[in-house]
A = this chain, B = another copy of it.
């Protein structure tokens, strides 16, 4: 028969999937002798069954009852016993930690009788605990709004004229309890337990948990475990405390005990951020022995797990208990430093170090920083909760931030954030909270998302009604700009100048290791010398996509491009083309020089011609107003003629070259002449000429043949040999099916997954996002935006077909990807598995790609 309940000592850390992460860690700690309050776990499978059967199975109920009995025996305490009561915590614990997303009930087991018994030891503590329990139980299990409880507390505090909860008198607390009991009828302990277990199960499917899983791409169907553990109390007086420590600094990775604690408090006081805790070093001043024991224990736990731990502890009358440990979330910066340090300390291997860092998180290391040399009007300093600097408009409402954050730079400013704000946090450029510490919700979540965050900035105030942020005399209204620096904790009025991020030595080391391991090449999407230099700096092995249309849009080119398009005669067109050729040549010369010896892939003109002409509607308006000159009239007619109903599917890419061969010929000539010039200067240009939008092999053959002929002529004339290659983009479903024919014609093919996604889904990239795609992702019609994370079911299958055909036809053909997906971790890993040789992405994403590619190789092994 299947077992639904495991005592801690029956499990170990490998049983995460069954016991949840929290449960498995408690089991593991028990196993290795860490002081853990005794308890047991209801398995995640029970949760899944609970949803299927829409209730708890009789068998499960029986097992839980037995476990309680055993726990009573073990602790010598009894549920509902006034003299020696068993109190337990009931916590969620999923296989993958989802901090703060699901529910927890503490002090379960309290009743009127029990509290009276407890009161004999410490009356204030007893009733305070009871009121906490009723509040939590009422709110979480019975769904009564927390405000109802808080209002009562505030009322009593007013009556007693005190500020803090701790200052309330025993009578005040008792009064609160009485009033709470008018709202909540407290059931007997066993009933409490089962109600709490169901509440925890149900919290798996609350909105914020679902949201969290969606954002973090976590599976939906694995369920949560429930950890039931004997309560210990950090709020028994000043010889008790509770706290959270990290075995290393989770913000910067420094090797030191890092964390915070609160004297005479329970754990949720820290997490909720209602009281600002003290740094952990301060514990030495209160209880040196305990501090040292904590330090030793923490070290032991890290050594055991071989990774940084996030440890929750409670000291009950000077006795240390470890309540939970888990692999610590950390900033990308810390992750990199810790990974590299641990290799140097001999704890983990290089491969392990590479796998320890979330590739996509590197993005935040490349975030800008505030230029400290500039004159800054710092109005406050809070906790540096998530590194990086951000400039944006002050917004107080997370809903508003969620909407406006799509298009504007927003700094979300909150008293404190809660899991309900997560949608607003996700779309903001930076987070500023007035309350809460480094482990508060805002801090944890924004670190996870790589969003700069300054937390616990208590100097500031919010005037909610008038939507003003107040710093002493300074008032910052909604929509005014501020800058926050999540690395230093500074809050700056206005738009501070930001400077580019620099690579840390640890990151350089890690990426060097990654480079040694990875199979895929990493190149850059770069159109300008600046991009190209940045690409080299970030470790690109060449240019995988150089878009010539961006060159066409430069102010000195555009008039010539228009002249070419509007030309009445071939002579006129050729004249414009000749001038453009010279300009393009200069573009390419620069790129070849910077990329000396590396591939420079140049995609010939891609968009439809009308994109280079004046805006149709502006012209049309002029015409309607009768303000159009004869010259403009001519342009207008041409623009009108070139307009398309669906330009994305229109006359563009190689189709343009089939009908107007001279444009590609000009570009190819410019490329080769540039290469010749660079070669004459003693450098080594490696041009790769790329044809976009191929859907039929004859397009490629026709255009390629003409261009090859021209190139041959030039090379013979100049008597130089240039080692050039040709390639085709695969960005249409049909191209995937003729990839064998294509591969026979070229040296490389490159997936343009933006367009391929567009065609495969039939989603217009220009329109879909605002019209329905955001809605789709919000409503989980789609789990991720396919323009951000490569779709495996459709686009991925097409790529597999194409790669198989291409490699079969020409095993030496290089396969690349150069869409947005080329810099996205998940997509890169998939591409590795299906046989893509090269990924190309924007320069800032190159470190991500280098690391993700290495991880893909290790995954494969």
Contacts and interface: CB of A to CB of B under 8 A. Distances in A.
Contacts of A655: 771-772
Given A658-B776, A794-B734, A794-B737, A645 B699 contact: no
Contacts of A651: 767-768, 771-772
B698 A658 contact: no
A826 interface: no
B763 A649 contact: yes
A744 to B, nearest CB: 14
Given A620-B617, A649-B768, A659-B772, A699 B794 contact: no
A718 interface: no
A730 to B, nearest CB: 11
A286 interface: no
Contacts of A781: 658, 696, 698-699, 702
Contact of A767 (B650, B758, B768): B650
Which 9 pairs, one residue from A and one from B, show the smallest C-beta to C-beta distance?
Answer: A624-B624, A734-B794, A649-B764, A646-B764, A645-B766, A651-B771, A732-B762, A733-B733, A644-B767
A665 interface: no
Contact of A648 (B620, B645, B755, B772): B645
Given A658-B775, A733-B733, 13 more contacts: A624-B625, A649-B763, A649-B764, A649-B767, A650-B764, A658-B781, A659-B771, A659-B775, A693-B762, A695-B794, A731-B762, A734-B794, A738-B794
Given A645-B764, A659-B775, A696 B759 contact: no
A695 B762 contact: yes
A782 interface: yes
A764 B644 contact: yes
A699 B732 CA distance: 23
A161 interface: no
A655 B763 CA distance: 10
A274 interface: no
Interface in A731-764: 731-734, 737-738, 755, 758-764
A366 B825 CA distance: 59
Given A620-B621, A760-B732, A793 B647 contact: no
A755 B762 contact: yes
B738 A793 contact: yes
A782 B650 CA distance: 16
A491 interface: no
A193 interface: no
Contacts of A776: 658, 696
B761 A695 contact: yes
A102 B746 CA distance: 37
A764 B650 CA distance: 6
Interface string A285-302: 000000000000000000
Given A644-B766, A645-B648, A760 B734 contact: yes
A791 interface: yes
A780 B767 CA distance: 34
Contacts of A646: 646-649, 764, 766-767
B645 A767 contact: yes
A617 B640 CA distance: 12
Contacts of A779: 658, 702
Nearest to A766: B645
A798 interface: yes
A458 to B, nearest CB: 44
Contacts of A768: 649-651
Contacts of A764: 644-650
Contacts of A647: 645-646, 764, 767
Nearest to A702: B781
